[in-house]
Chains A and B, each alone.
Chain A
Amino acid sequence: MITIIKIKLIKKIQNEILVKYNSYCKLDNNKVKLIIPNNEYVDLYNECIKIYSTLLQDFGYSASNVKLIEKDQKIDVKEATFNLVALQDEIMMVSANNISRSQLGDDDTSEEETADQGHEESKLYFRSPYGMSALFSPMLALHQYLKNKPIIYEFDQYVYFELIACWPTDLNDKYFINGNKISSNTNDNNRVYYIDANPCMGSKNEIISPSYFKDTLQKLVNRKYNIPTILIVDTTSTTSEQLNNILDAFDGQDKIPLLVTATSVLKHNELGLDAYSVGENKVYVSKKTMDKNQLDFSYHVYIEFLKNATRGTESGFSRKMRRALRKAINSVADSENSLFYNPDNNQEKTERFVDLLLANVEQAQINMNDKQFIDMLHDFSIDNNEPTIHDLLGIYHAVFPDAFDVEFQKLISTDLYKMLTKSDFVAKGYMILSDKMDCQFISKKLF
């Protein structure tokens, strides 16, 4: 009887709560709060919005409502976040319909990458379906590499809680032994050590120093026995600067030959899309061990084993989605008003051209004593990203029609030279010139 009354009561309370909850939700719904956000917020927000909309365009859809926000202006943040989330949802809807039906032809998981400078690394990402599998696969690869020799795994103090909670109970003791529980003094190569680069501090009175990774690494290296062969680092929330510091510390020692990073891509890599789950591994070799050539451990073979362990495990959906996202990011970053636009490449070109131009002017023995003109040309070409090298050549041709000598032709490509001779191209050069410079000044120089 009591239980029945209980349930009735609960239902009654539940309904009351629902009603109250609704009124709570309605509170302040009509009031619009306008605030001025940080510049950093504006930059990142706009970048994300642009990336989302280009991603949608790549899928063949146009985003229904794309609004960029401006700096130092009052905005409705609630609306802005709503737009952001709505775009994310739209991408998910569209991608779920588009990608899942597209061909899932290629089988390879890993793809060639350009290496970061200064560190010996595998140049390959090894991808598996989860962050957890990324943590597991380096150990499994070692297990297979050592011909099914049991592996001893050891956890750091602040390692991801799911490992501590599950692996000791789930994994078979025949093959994987919890190193924190057994005491052995050996120096075999069947030991791995798990460490989190950015640990979640889940208990009281925990102390952590800024040089946390360095210190633990030093402790490991100073051991007499039980030095791990592989250091598996959870880099889910690690910035590339932090990773570089970690690798610098790792390169400074020669006891531990390998470092494998494990990243859960779902967290920070996909701009909150929550679209796909992938675990990424990357292998780094300690420089000192490479230099000393003391490896009794062929890391090339190990990498092959890791490749085998993870090959074909990434889902077709996540592969396509990952690439599409990267493409969108790259195409947005190449545009000029992007947050990460790097004009260095273009500047290099223009600077090189201006140098070339001035050198050629001297060769042609044209009267170019007027420093003002040179400076203006210099400023004009560098400060404005608009005119390309072609435009500049056009200007040059317009100003100095006789200056194209043979050596100059050698310096520039023949196709470009052909283009230069076209009349409309020259006209374009004039137009740019007349837009940017004083007309009288040009007329003096030209005629």
Chain B
Amino acid sequence: MKSHELRSKAFDSLMLDIAFSKQLMSDLMNKESKQSIKNTINKKIKCLHELEKNIQSAMTQLTNHQNKLDEIVSLSMTESNKKIEHFNQQAKDICDKNNHDIDKFFKAVSSLMSIKATNEADKNDMMVAELISESEIFIQSCYLNTPVLTRKLTETRVPYTAKDLYRSSQSSNYTGTFYARSQIRHSVNKISGKFESVNKFGDKNAASDLIKDSKNINASNTTRKKYHNIGAGNSDLPVSDFKINENYTSSKLRSFSSHKNHKKLRDGILSHKNNAVKKLIDLTKDDKYQKFLINKQQVNAKYPCLVILFSAFDRKNESNHGLKPGYQEFATHLLIACINQQLKNTCGGPLIERRESFGFMTPTLSDIQSGLRLSLGLVPNNDWLVAVRSGIKNCDLLLSKLPMDFNCDEYDSHNNHVMMSVGHRIMLGEMEASKIPSEIVDRLSGLHSKYNPVDYNHKNKINKKNTK
């Protein structure tokens, strides 16, 4: 159905509605005896008359616009056809690349471009709507006044809310795997990828010359993911054919070029975090840990994170630095579980998450080879810090109680998450009966004894035997 037909239909229904309500009013008028009510009804009828007039005038304007529109369309049909073809071609290309449905794509585009096209409107109508914007906007506003059509319009919007996604990710039933991080953190490929993407650092050949193994660059080039937010023009979506949001032109954004407020806010947040770190270190001043070590000197560095070191870590020791492989990962998750348990009991939040990097508004924890780094977010009050401190204490106790020497290499790298989640499990045991139940300890130690000692040669021998 074409858009003007829809429009006339909507108009007819509206007029019918008005006539109907008028009829009702007049009936009421005849029945009612009180003068005051009669007056109000009279007023309403007058309003209806005015409404009718307004709508009729709007309709005449609309038809004028429609005629103009038709003229323009007929004149520039060839031109618009070309554009439409171009548009379709682009859309198809994108869909081929991304395996999306064309319909989905159009829906997304129509919603994002805020072109208020109807559900039935075909692609031609959409293009025309883009060509003649001002008059069309007026028409659209009339569209929106009709109740039936508005419902349809809202349906065409993409039904996403980030909140729902977040909620679903926070749901208590956790069916996915635990977060497993690759053990090889800072491989050559990763870093050379960083250089490579900076293609303006000289020309590409020169850039590759700066790095030792230029072969690696090519390898990383083919395997590297494309992120929507990294690299100009990296997006697969068409760029130039669409209009930008008016608020969004660079000239407008540039006009607010002062950095003063941004700096102030950044300073405020940073000093807030630094103060919290100071308080935390003051709190833990007299604590004695067996597995952890908190360097009080770090206050002077004014680094907005609390660094908790492993006392067993030895930088000079080349093989695993005196820690079992996977120990850092395990301790990270155990500490998070311990602190979060305390937080849940006292303030309720904000809870700590496992995350790389630092400097967010919510607290995160990650490991830095020699220890753990607690990046603070906004700290609600001192109770929060006290809870964190007792969490660290608990974790230290648990780590020292731990009956087995963890060895992550026992499992394949794919199963690392099992090791991590054991932390939560021990935590659970503690929560259920203030001590670690003997069952769990037994099971864990049994697990340990079954596969202990881990002997690489032994492993290899078995594999060799199997192959033979």
**Chain A residues with a Cβ under 8 A of chain B:** 2-3, 6, 9-10, 13-14, 17-18, 20-29, 31-38, 40-41, 43-45, 47-48, 51, 58-60, 64-65, 76-78, 80-82, 84-86, 88-90, 92-94, 96-106, 111-114, 128-130, 132-133, 136-137, 140, 144, 158, 161-162, 165-166, 169-173, 175-176, 198-210, 212, 236-242, 266-269, 271-272, 274-277, 309-318, 320-321, 323-327, 329-333, 339-340
B424 at the interface (CB under 8 A from A): yes
Chain B 408-432, CB within 8 Å of chain A: the 1/0 string? 0001000100100110110110010
Asked if A85 and B380 sit within 8 Å, CB to CB, the answer is no
B248 at the interface (CB under 8 A from A): yes
**Chain B residues with a Cβ under 8 A of chain A:** 112, 114, 160-163, 165-166, 170, 172-175, 186, 188, 191-192, 194-195, 197-202, 209-212, 228-235, 237-240, 242, 244-245, 247-248, 250, 252-254, 256-259, 261-272, 274, 293, 295, 297-298, 300-305, 307, 309, 311, 313, 315, 337, 344-351, 357-362, 368-371, 373, 377-381, 383, 411, 415, 418, 421-422, 424-425, 427-428, 431, 447, 451, 462
Asked if A312 and B259 sit within 8 Å, CB to CB, the answer is no
Q: Shortest beta-carbon distance, B63 to chain A, in Å? A: 31
B350 proximity list for chain A (CB < 8 A) = 77-78, 81
Picked from A77, A101, A203, A330, the residue with its CB within 8 Å of the CB of B237 is A101
Residue of chain B at shortest CB distance from A275: B229
Asked if A22 and B233 sit within 8 Å, CB to CB, the answer is no
Picked from A47, A78, A315, the residue with its CB within 8 Å of the CB of B229 is A315
Picked from A13, A25, A36, A317, the residue with its CB within 8 Å of the CB of B228 is A317
B373 proximity list for chain A (CB < 8 A) = 200
Residue of chain B at shortest CB distance from A107: B232
Asked if A17 and B424 sit within 8 Å, CB to CB, the answer is yes
A173 proximity list for chain B (CB < 8 A) = 212
Q: Shortest beta-carbon distance, A281 to chain B, in Å? A: 13
B307 proximity list for chain A (CB < 8 A) = 200-202
A112 proximity list for chain B (CB < 8 A) = 257
Picked from B201, B259, B383, the residue with its CB within 8 Å of the CB of A35 is B383
Asked if B266 and A239 sit within 8 Å, CB to CB, the answer is yes
Asked if B347 and A104 sit within 8 Å, CB to CB, the answer is no
**Contacts A38-B381, A170-B191, A323-B254 given; does A20 touch B163 at CB 8 Å:** no
How far does the alpha carbon of A44 sit from the alpha carbon of B377 in the complex, in Å? 11
**Contacts A2-B462, A60-B245, A101-B238 given; does A77 touch B424 at CB 8 Å:** no
Picked from B248, B261, B302, the residue with its CB within 8 Å of the CB of A329 is B261
How far does the alpha carbon of A90 sit from the alpha carbon of B160 in the complex, in Å? 10
Asked if A201 and B295 sit within 8 Å, CB to CB, the answer is yes
How far does the alpha carbon of A43 sit from the alpha carbon of B267 in the complex, in Å? 14
B194 proximity list for chain A (CB < 8 A) = 130, 132-133
How far does the alpha carbon of A171 sit from the alpha carbon of B208 in the complex, in Å? 10
Asked if B431 and A202 sit within 8 Å, CB to CB, the answer is no
**Contacts A237-B304, A267-B359 given; does A28 touch B250 at CB 8 Å:** no
How far does the alpha carbon of A3 sit from the alpha carbon of B236 in the complex, in Å? 44
A162 proximity list for chain B (CB < 8 A) = 186, 191
B422 proximity list for chain A (CB < 8 A) = 17
Asked if A201 and B301 sit within 8 Å, CB to CB, the answer is yes
Asked if A208 and B267 sit within 8 Å, CB to CB, the answer is no
Picked from A93, A275, A277, the residue with its CB within 8 Å of the CB of B162 is A93
